[in-house]
Structure 1
Amino acid sequence: MSISDVELGTTRLTPNYRIDLRNPGNEQLDRFINANLVSDWSQLTWKTVGKPYEVKTMAKSKQEWEQQNGHMSVKTSWEFFNRSFHEWFVKDVPEELSEAKKKLYKHLARFQVHEVKEALGETARLSLWNYAHRIQDGIWDPRGKRALFQGLDIRKPRILFLGAAEGYEAMQLHAMYPEGEVVMVDYDDFCRTDRFGHFPDSYPFLGANPATGQSQVWHKSQMNIHYLVDDIRNLPFGKEFDIVLSVGLLEHFPDEFKPEVMDWHRKFLKPGGYAVMTTPRVQLRSRLFYTIMADVMNHTYRELMDVRQMGLYVYESGFDILRHGYIKVHNGIVAKPR
């Protein structure tokens, strides 16, 4: 399947994900809600905003592994998560949902209580994944991410993506600000070989044509991307990137480690460079998602926070916040080191 520029302004579903090429100039399509909740971050306190919500329900696979082997290391936890998460990204969701419902009806007809319970759980997870990822496109959220990323004062940027996984957001940035370079970093090689390696080249990223200034579709194979498998703490880079990006990274570290995480964003930035970050929003549907999808999602320490909490971590770590707000299921911040 190939997507041409003729399809700009359209959206449609595939069995695995949604394609969304609606033009960022259309009203109320690219939505970044510039919250403006805080006018002076120096006056905000933890007493005012409270601490983030900690997700404590863990995946069964993690619990079973720890019963046999003791405490699971952070790296092993991420390896479990990446494989579990990837299995869901490659599902033919309508087909699997149809099969799950057939199994549920069969077990109901036979009054097989244990099997009914398992089938109900699988049907619920597939239905929620279908809604969150395919229908709402809340995980990738291309329109929201484009809105968060737009307006940066950069040309041909070098972009460093910390904890890159499949690298979606860096590819979206690369499409919007083309002709630069992306360096993706993750310490699980499965992310390089499978999550990024099997990311479909047919997926279209709506970006810019540098020659005309008009909208253009970009694909993974057209991008200048290098993928490093390493611990972020071992990276050899200096202050050489225009953007340091992280998506869903900060919330996986308890408070005593958050200053170190923020320092990773600072130490690789050129003077005047941007730190761009997202974290999952704390809201009822997010709590529900991580409860129902626990066996898929919850292998590591995880918090849900509001944008004030996220911003306070960023501000207290020596950054000035240029933009703060939220998209569908994520908080978003653009900041620069003070």
Structure 2
Amino acid sequence: MSELQVGTTELTPSYRVDLRNPTNESLDEFINANVVSDWSQLTWKTVGKPYEVKSVASSKREWEHQHGEMSVKESWEFFNRSFHEWFVKDVPAELSSSKRELMKYLSRFQLGEVKKALGETVRLSLWNYAHRIEDGIWDPRGKRALFEGLDVRKPRILFLGAAEGYEAMQLHAMYPEGEVVMVDYDDFCRTDRFGLFPDSYPFLGTNPASGLPKVWHKNEMNIEYVISDIRDLPFGKEFDIVLSVGLLEHFPDDFKAEAMDWHRKFLKPGGYVVMTTPRLQLKSRLFYTIMADVMNHTYRELMDIRQMGLYVYEAGFDILRHGYIKVHNGIVAQPR
């Protein structure tokens, strides 16, 4: 796709392409919640602690029955492989097939198979709505709105826990001519989640020569993918933007301060930390219940924006912007 398609949206069998509204006047939306005017006055007694997702994937339970407790790294490896399978599905075709199987088992009164087929149909229907129709997982319009207005030019971007790297590629498109370093400690993320991310997927950004909208693709971007534990990275304070998406909520409170320190450790003076976490809302709780076998291999919390912001503030950051998009909280911050 090219600039000729700017302003359009289109469904593929696996995901939605959305190049609508490059001027962010209506459809791109980051709700600047403004729920907190003075973070220093907010307390945990006021906001309460995040909601912990306690349902567990059956594959994790089965593995632990055979081998004992999964390590954190093994849990992430299970999650990455399970999650990736859903991104590459031809969702309409698989949904039609699942419904046919369900009707076949119903007609034969095979109740055990009916239960399995019904569960798969429900999961496919939810994934179709959440990822493909609503585009809530990638949410390009919301994330463009979250990322806009950063005072950077040709930035170095560090993405911690990068997985397929979607958000860093969106940032790169909006602030081009820089470079991205993606970090994950599961090589499957490099080879498959990022490696098989479609080259045809269009990211709406900016033409640095004209300032006009431009469509960018993965193979046009300056990206390095590093396989490493974040604690072992050799970088100094050399990045203009340090990004994490759905990372903080995987750490119990005893480890959240350390996770926040990782964001500070690699940031240039005057640089930006950009973070998201899944929102605490009814539809998110429903999603993680129905999709437990896909999603729930690791420790996970759902937060509201005040809870997320309090973690960030207590870790020594000033919050420049806080709010929410479709299914995530979003914060832009700088170290105090």
1:246 counterpart residue number: 244
Q: CA deviation at 1:191?
A: 0.1
1:196 counterpart residue number: 194
Residues 1-338 of structure 1: pairs in structure 2 closer than 5 A? 3-25=1-23, 27-338=25-336
Q: CA deviation at 1:26?
A: 5.0
Distance 2:131 2:22 in 1: 20
Q: CA deviation at 1:24?
A: 2.8
Q: CA deviation at 1:25?
A: 1.5
Q: CA deviation at 1:28?
A: 2.0
SS at 1:271's partner residue? strand
Unpaired runs of at least 5, structure 1: none
Distance 2:26 2:299 in 1: 35
Unpaired runs of at least 5, structure 2: none
Distance 2:24 2:235 in 1: 39
Amino acid at match of 2:107: A
Distance 1:290 1:24 in 2: 32
Closer/same/farther in 2, CA of residues 26 and 163 from structure 1, 3 Å limit: closer
Distance 1:22 1:233 in 2: 39
Q: CA deviation at 1:27?
A: 3.1
Is the contact made by 1:24 and 1:147 (CA closer than 8 Å) also made in structure 2? Answer: no
Distance 1:177 1:27 in 2: 19
Percentage identity across paired residues of the two chains: 83
Is the contact made by 1:281 and 1:331 (CA closer than 8 Å) also made in structure 2? Answer: yes
Q: Render the CA deviation track for 1:80-129: whole Å, top value 9, x for unaligned.
A: 00000000000000000000000000001011110000000000000000
Distance 1:256 1:36 in 2: 28
Distance 1:23 1:328 in 2: 17
> May I ask how many residue pairs the two structures share in their alignment?
336
Distance 1:31 1:212 in 2: 24
Amino acid at match of 1:269: L
Amino acid at match of 1:303: E
Is the contact made by 1:175 and 1:207 (CA closer than 8 Å) also made in structure 2? Answer: yes
Q: Render the CA deviation track for 1:190-242: whole Å, top value 9, x for unaligned.
A: 00000000000000000000000000000000000000000000000000000
Q: CA deviation at 1:4?
A: 1.5
Q: Render the CA deviation track for 1:67-89: whole Å, top value 9, x for unaligned.
A: 00000000000000000000000
Q: RMSD of aligned C-alpha atoms? A: 0.5
Distance 1:177 1:208 in 2: 7
SS at 2:182's partner residue? strand
Q: Render the CA deviation track for 1:39-91: whole Å, top value 9, x for unaligned.
A: 00000000000000000000000000000000000000000000000000000
